[in-house]
Structure 1
Amino acid sequence: MEALMVSLNAVIPFVFYLAVGYGAKRLKMCSYDLLQGMNKLVFKAFFPLSLFWNMYTMDPSIEIDIPLLLAEGASLIALIILLMLTVPWFVKENPRRGVVVQAIYRSNCVLFALPMAEVVMGEPGKIYATMMLAVIVPILNVSAVLVLESFHGEGLTDPKKLIINILTNPLIDGIAVGALFFALGIHLPRFIETPVKNMGSMATPLALFILGGTLEFSQVGKNLKCLTVAMGIKLLVIPLVVTVITTLAGLSDVVRFTFFIIYATPVATSSYVMAQNMGGDGELAGQFVVFSTVASALTLFIWVYAYAALGFV
């Protein structure tokens, strides 16, 4: 029940932000052009500040488990490569290919995985999840740029242009600068830290508000099959495969659950913002965020209950 409450506490605010955005647009409190302008602002300013803050404020006292981090990073990269190779067989339009790939592997780890790991596995779960996020967040964001750029337009992007786009991507820059400040021990003055933290914390609520305002439920029908299959793979199949592999590998309960929760959480909100700004199918990306967020309240509860029944927690 406690795990269910954590899931609901994480999910319901997301749904609330979406509902407020949807209501504001229907009541003509904001125009489509205004929402599109805000979307670019979130992508180029608020999300980079959020990612900078996550890297900048990492706990330096955590004892890093290098083999664990390498294994988690390698597993994520392997999944991305597998999806890059297989999704184009089933999805024919390039703007949709990148969105589907991103939706299946890219999770909202910070808002879901960390609190779930702490509640279910206690302090050890929190420590392992924090360590993994230090590796996972950069991989998720760098790979998202790579995936969307690779399927941008009608063909593969020129490698030189792809590298330039990756290096100049606002999200990548936010991570890089935050990691640099953390590594060099650079500390911002308090009067700068406070606005950076506050503006970064606005990224997810504002992105969800914008998503709610631009969401068109009349278009869900044409994407229903894609949504159902992709979310079934993300929220059910991949967590099952991860659970089986980590169990066969003899990993501890804490490590097994931490691996699992990294993959079992809903689609990252920033995936919608990135798709909108990088030539992907923004409508489909937004629907992935909405449906995975709502569905995860049920799937996470079922998974945690199953883990408890098997004696894994």
Structure 2
Amino acid sequence: MITILIALWPLFLLIVAGYAMRKCGFPGEQFWPGAERLNYFILFPALLLSSLSTAPLRDPALPRLLAAVALTVAVCGAGLLIARKIRNWPAARFGVLLQGILRFNTYLGLAAIGGLYGKPGLLFASVIIALLVPMVNVLSVLALSADRHTTPGALLFSLARNPLIVSCLAGVLLNLAGIELRWGADRLLALLANTSLPLGLLSVGAALRLDELRGQSGALIINSLTRLLIVPAVAWGCARLLALSAVETAALVLFFALPTAPTSYVLTRQLGGDSHLMAGVITLQPLLSAATLVLVMTFLA
């Protein structure tokens, strides 16, 4: 447990630092939107491209890992659909709750898996991201648009504009084609990638809005605890069912134990979802995850 705490506390200290910096007005309110855009469109895609271009995509065990990812999403998605049928949630609410359950904070995930398992963990994590990012984006758009017609062309256009999906696809293509990054390109991507995670964690902290926790406390708590404790248990069960290795299991469970992505708020606003509820989920889950991640990783250890 000491090893896990040593690996995780710097990450949450950066999140707290980001919150404190924004509250103190340093380096200025205009800094954070630009920092998020820089990370989302340049720095983080560079990290994914760099990792996936060298990931073990021809590893014979990899299909089992991807199958475990898909099975976990399928089980959780089916549970959400059943809950929607019983509770009769409108799309504006259902889309928020689905994002709270299935989307994940990639910055925190890669930083945690890198601190705990090093480069082997990062490689498996990159492969998981390559499958999860397009899956959860498609499901999020469909859930928020469930009460109105969405054309396949509009959905594809939305995915094609996502820099994370584009960088994942580019990294996989480079890897499968056997193209190596040379003449300093690998070093450039490494420099950009090394900047991404600390800036991303500071931005997560800056995005916390404690005033958004007022109202709908029951929905916030149930959604958050389901995401942070029950969904990782489902992922662990899928990993055991498909006989994944210890590092693969840890990477899988960790990504399904992460708080939801802050970018969920933007998508919710764009598609007319319940943005107040989404802001509450985005704020509460990182706060609770400081304790739940330690519990989950201690269980795995």
Judged with a 3 Å threshold, the aligned counterparts in structure 2 of structure 1 residues 27 and 303 are, in CA distance, closer, same or farther, namely closer
Q: Distance in 2 between matches of 1:229 and 1:111?
A: 26
Judged with a 3 Å threshold, the aligned counterparts in structure 2 of structure 1 residues 152 and 71 are, in CA distance, closer, same or farther, namely closer
Contact residue 11 and residue 111 of structure 2 kept, 8 A = no
Work out whether 1:208 is the aligned partner of 2:201.
yes
Contact residue 235 and residue 265 of structure 1 kept, 8 A = yes
1:75 pairs, out of 66, 71, 78, with 71
1:140 pairs, out of 127, 132, 137, with 132
Q: 1:206-285 to 2 correspondence within 5 Å?
A: 206-243=199-236, 249=241, 251=243, 254=246, 257-258=249-250, 261-262=253-254, 265-267=257-259, 271-276=261-266, 279=270
The equivalent of 2:25 in structure 1 is 28
Work out whether 1:194 is the aligned partner of 2:187.
yes
What is the aligned length?
293
Work out whether 1:102 is the aligned partner of 2:99.
yes
In the TM superposition, residue 302 of structure 1 has moved relative to its aligned partner by 3.8
Which segments of 5 or more consecutive residues in structure 2 lack a partner in the other structure? none
Work out whether 1:111 is the aligned partner of 2:111.
yes
Superposition RMSD in Å: 3.7
Contact residue 113 and residue 261 of structure 1 kept, 8 A = no
The DSSP-based 3-state class of the residue aligned with 1:29 is coil
Which segments of 5 or more consecutive residues in structure 1 lack a partner in the other structure? 120-125, 308-312
1:15 pairs, out of 12, 17, 21, with 12
The equivalent of 1:176 in structure 2 is 169
Work out whether 1:150 is the aligned partner of 2:142.
yes
Deviations along 1:96-129, whole A, 9 cap, x unmatched? 533432332344543335655x59xxxxxx96x6
| Paired residue type of 2:33 | Q
Judged with a 3 Å threshold, the aligned counterparts in structure 2 of structure 1 residues 32 and 103 are, in CA distance, closer, same or farther, namely same
Contact residue 95 and residue 152 of structure 1 kept, 8 A = yes
Contact residue 259 and residue 289 of structure 2 kept, 8 A = no
Contact residue 38 and residue 210 of structure 1 kept, 8 A = yes
| Paired residue type of 1:73 | V
| Paired residue type of 2:173 | L
The DSSP-based 3-state class of the residue aligned with 1:222 is coil
In the TM superposition, residue 167 of structure 1 has moved relative to its aligned partner by 2.2
Deviations along 1:244-272, whole A, 9 cap, x unmatched? 5666x59488489548734553225xx21
Judged with a 3 Å threshold, the aligned counterparts in structure 2 of structure 1 residues 261 and 8 are, in CA distance, closer, same or farther, namely farther
The DSSP-based 3-state class of the residue aligned with 2:197 is helix
* Bigger mean CA offset, 107-116 vs 167-176: 107-116
Judged with a 3 Å threshold, the aligned counterparts in structure 2 of structure 1 residues 151 and 137 are, in CA distance, closer, same or farther, namely same
Contact residue 145 and residue 166 of structure 1 kept, 8 A = yes
Contact residue 64 and residue 131 of structure 1 kept, 8 A = no
Q: Distance in 2 between matches of 1:178 and 1:253?
A: 24
Q: Distance in 1 between matches of 2:41 and 2:80?
A: 26
Deviations along 1:213-256, whole A, 9 cap, x unmatched? 34221221225323311222122223334555666x59488489
